[in-house]
Amino acid sequence: MTHDTTGTNRQTSPLHPYAERFEVHDTMPEHGVAREQILSELREMSTEEDRKGDSGRVSGSIYSGDHDHYGFLVEAFGFYAHANVLQRDMYPSATKLESEIIAMTASMLHGDDDTGGLVTSGGTESLVTAMLTYREWGRNRKGIKHPQVIMPVTAHPGHDKGMHYFGIEVIKAPVTDQYVVDLDFVRDHIGPDTVALVGSAGTYPHGLIDPIPELGQLAIEHGLGLHVDGCLGGFIIPWAQDLGYPLPPFDLRVPGVTSISADTHKYGYALKGSSVLLLRPKSLRREQYFMIGGWPGGMYSSPGMGGSRSGGLIAATWASMLSLGREGYRRIAADIFRTADEIKAAVRSHPELKLIGDSLFNVAFRSDEVDIFHVNDALTDRGWRMNGLQAPPALHFCVTRPNTQPGLTEAFAHDLAEAVEYAKSPPKPIPTSGAMYGAGGVQPDPERIFAGLANRLDAMHEVGPKDGARPHSHL
Ligand SMILES: Cc1ncc(COP(=O)(O)O)c(C=O)c1O
C-alpha cells in the first residue's frame, strides 16, 4: 500500500500495477518534476512492458517489434509532433506526405485514377468513416431515410460502432461452414433501404477473406456501396501473390468495391494511430466532409472525424512505407507466411484440434474434444498470449514480425502439445481464460460480462481505487 499526493491509500491491482511503485498523481504537482525522473519512470515501465511483445509469444497487437525501425519512426515523428496539419499554409509538407501515403496505399491495392483516400487515426475510425459515408451517400443520392448495412457476423465491431453512432440499422449475415459470409443471406436481405454491404479481407477472428467478387456483383446489381475491411489484412495479404501463395481477388481490382480500409499501424509497421481509407469513386470522400458557415470562429471545414491532427503520425507513417518499400514488406510477409504455415502444421498434428479455414497469417483453431480455453490456460502458463474467440469457441494466433524469430514455432509446437495434454484432464473444470477482445483471452465472469466490461472501462480511466465516499452527480 502507498499514498498518493493527497495522502489517500493506493493499492496495486491488475490495471494499476504501479500504484505502490511510483507516486500516483491525483493532482498536478505544484512544481515540475525533473525530466530525468519522468523519463526514467517511462523507461522502466515501457522496457518491462515491451518484454512480453518482444518475446514473440504474443498473437497480433505488436506488428513490427523492430526497435531500430521504431527509433527511426520516432525521429521522423519528432520533426512534426507539434505541428497541427489542419493549418496547411503553415505545413504544406503535410499535403505531400498525406497524399503520398494515400497514393502508395491505393497503388498497392490497385486503385485507379478515380480512387481517393483519407488518413485516419486507426482501423475503427476508417470503418466508422466508411459507415458515415454510405449513410450520407444513401441520403443524398437515393433519399434513404432509414439506412441499412448488411455485414457478416465476423466483420469487426468498428462497423457496429459507426452504425450505432450514426443511426444505421445493421443486418448481420451468418457465415457458411467455411466461415465466410453467406451470400444467399446477403442477397435475400438487400432491400430498398440498404446502402452498403461489408466484407472483410481478412477477418479478425479467423483471418479469412469473404467472397469479395460475389459481393461486388451484388453491389453492382443493386447499386450499393461495398466496403472491404482490410484493416488487418490490407498491408499483408497483397504480398501473397508475389510470394507464390494463392490469393482470391479482394481489393480495388474487384468491380463493385467502393471502399477499402488498410491499417498502416498494423502490417504497415507504422507507429500506432494511423490507417488509410480508400474510396472509389473519389466523390464518395466528399459525402463525409464536414463544413459549416456562420460560426463566429470563421468558415469551418475538416476532411474527416478529427479536428487538429499531429503531423508527427503522418510523417512517421510515410517514413515507414518509404523506408521498407515493396521489397521490405514482401520480405517480412514471407517470414510471416512461413511462420503461419509452421503454426498450422503444429495445430494439424493434433487430431483434437481443428483449423478454422486456412488463413495465410492468422491461424484460428478450435476443438470438439477438449475445452479450447483449457488449452489456452496451459499456453498462458507457458508465456503465450493467444486471442480467445467465441461462436465457435476458438483461439487465434495472428502472426506478426516478432513471432518470426528463430525457434519460436518449435517452442509453440512443444507447448501446444503439452497444452492439449493438459486440456484432456484439466485439474479444474472451468478454464480461467475465455473470449474477451483486447485482453488476451482473460475473461472475469461470463455471467456478468457487460457490467464487468463497463467497470473495467471506468477503471482504465481512473488513477486507481481509493478510500472514501463517491461523489454524486444529478445525472
Ligand atoms: C479486421 C479488423 N478491422 C478493424 C480493426 C480495428 O482496428 P483498430 O483497432 O485499429 O481500430 C481490427 C483490429 O484488430 C481488425 O482486425
- Ligand 1 mutation target, pool 156, 159, 272, most atoms within 8 A of CB: 156
Domains of the chain: 2-58 (no CATH), 84-309 (3.40.640.10), 325-454 (3.90.1150.10)
229 lines ligand 1 (CB under 6 A): yes
- First CA to last CA distance, the chain: 33
Read off the amino acid at residue 328.
G
- Grid coordinates representing 38 are 519522468
232 lines ligand 1 (CB under 6 A): yes
CA-nearest residue for atom 16, ligand 1, is: 204
* CA-closest candidate to residue 220, choices 231, 212, 210: 212
318 lines ligand 1 (CB under 6 A): no
* CA-closest candidate to residue 409, choices 333, 347, 352: 347
CA-nearest residue for atom 10, ligand 1, is: 123
Within its chain, how far is the Cα of 292 from the centroid? 32
Question: How far is 427 from 423, CA to CA, in rounded Å?
Answer: 9
* CA-closest candidate to residue 126, choices 231, 215, 197, 202: 231
Angle, CA 178 vertex, CA 419 and CA 418 arms, to 5°:
5
Q: In this structure, what is the dihedral angle of CA atoms 176, 181, 183, 184, given to the nearest 10 degrees?
A: 50
In angstroms, what is the span from residue 122 Cα to ligand 1's centroid? 8
- Grid coordinates representing 287 are 459525402
CA-nearest residue for atom 6, ligand 1, is: 123
In angstroms, what is the span from residue 226 Cα to ligand 1's centroid? 18
Q: Which atom of ligand 1 is nearest to the CA of 60?
A: 14
Query: What pLDDT shows up at residue 439?
Result: 62
357 lines ligand 1 (CB under 6 A): no
Number of H helices, E strands in the chain: 12, 15
- What are the distances in angstroms from CA 163 to CA 141, 157, 196, 412? 19, 10, 12, 39
| Number of CB atoms found within 10 A of residue 327's CB | 9
Q: What is the DSSP-derived secondary structure letter of residue 442?
A: B
| C-alpha R_g of the chain | 24
Angle, CA 358 vertex, CA 352 and CA 361 arms, to 5°:
110
Give helix 372-381 / helix 408-424 axis angle, nearest 10°. 130
258 lines ligand 1 (CB under 6 A): no
In angstroms, what is the span from residue 123 Cα to ligand 1's centroid? 5
- Ligand 1 mutation target, pool 232, 260, 265, most atoms within 8 A of CB: 232
Query: What pLDDT shows up at residue 470?
Result: 64
In what order do the strands lie in the sheet containing 259-262? Answer: 116-120, 275-279, 259-262, 225-230, 194-200, 148-152, 169-173
Question: How far is 99 from 119, CA to CA, in rounded Å?
Answer: 9
| Number of CB atoms found within 10 A of residue 259's CB | 28
Query: What pLDDT shows up at residue 440?
Result: 60
Reported for 389-392, long-range contacts at CB under 8 A and 24+ positions apart, including other chains, are 389/205, 389/206, 389/364, 389/435, 390/434, 390/435, 391/153, 392/356, 392/366
Query: What pLDDT shows up at residue 237?
Result: 98
- Grid coordinates representing 359 are 488463413
Q: What is the DSSP string of 157-216?
A: HHHHHHHHHHT-EEEEEPB-TTSSB-HHHHHHH--TTEEEEEEEBS-TTT--B--HHHHH
231 lines ligand 1 (CB under 6 A): yes
Query: What pLDDT shows up at residue 452?
Result: 83
User: By the 8 A CB rule, do 464 and 13 touch?
Assistant: yes
Q: Which atom of ligand 1 is nearest to the CA of 155?
A: 1
- Ligand 1 mutation target, pool 210, 231, 259, most atoms within 8 A of CB: 231
316 lines ligand 1 (CB under 6 A): no
Torsions phi, psi for 368 (to 5 deg): -95, -10
Q: What is the DSSP string of 57-92?
A: -B-SS-S---HHHHHHHHHHHHHHTT-BTT-TTT-T
- Ligand 1 mutation target, pool 59, 127, 204, most atoms within 8 A of CB: 204
Q: Which atom of ligand 1 is nearest to the CA of 127?
A: 4
Angle, CA 467 vertex, CA 465 and CA 473 arms, to 5°:
80
- What are the distances in angstroms from CA 236 to CA 127, 334, 385? 18, 10, 21
Query: What pLDDT shows up at residue 455?
Result: 83
CA-nearest residue for atom 9, ligand 1, is: 123
How do the pLDDT tens digits run along the chain, 475 residues long?
A: 556 666 667 788 889 999 999 999 999 999 999 999 999 999 999 999 999 999 999 999 999 999 999 999 999 999 999 999 999 999 999 999 999 999 999 999 999 999 999 999 999 999 999 999 999 999 999 999 999 999 999 999 999 999 999 999 999 999 999 999 999 999 999 999 999 999 999 999 999 999 999 999 999 999 999 999 999 999 999 999 999 999 999 999 999 999 999 999 999 999 999 999 999 999 999 999 999 999 999 999 999 999 999 999 999 999 999 999 999 999 999 999 999 999 999 999 999 999 999 999 999 999 999 999 999 999 999 999 999 999 999 999 999 999 999 999 999 999 999 999 999 999 999 999 987 766 665 555 566 688 888 888 888 888 876 666 566 788 8
Q: Which residues make Cβ contacts (< 8 Å) with residue 281, sequence separation at least 6?
A: 114, 115, 116, 258
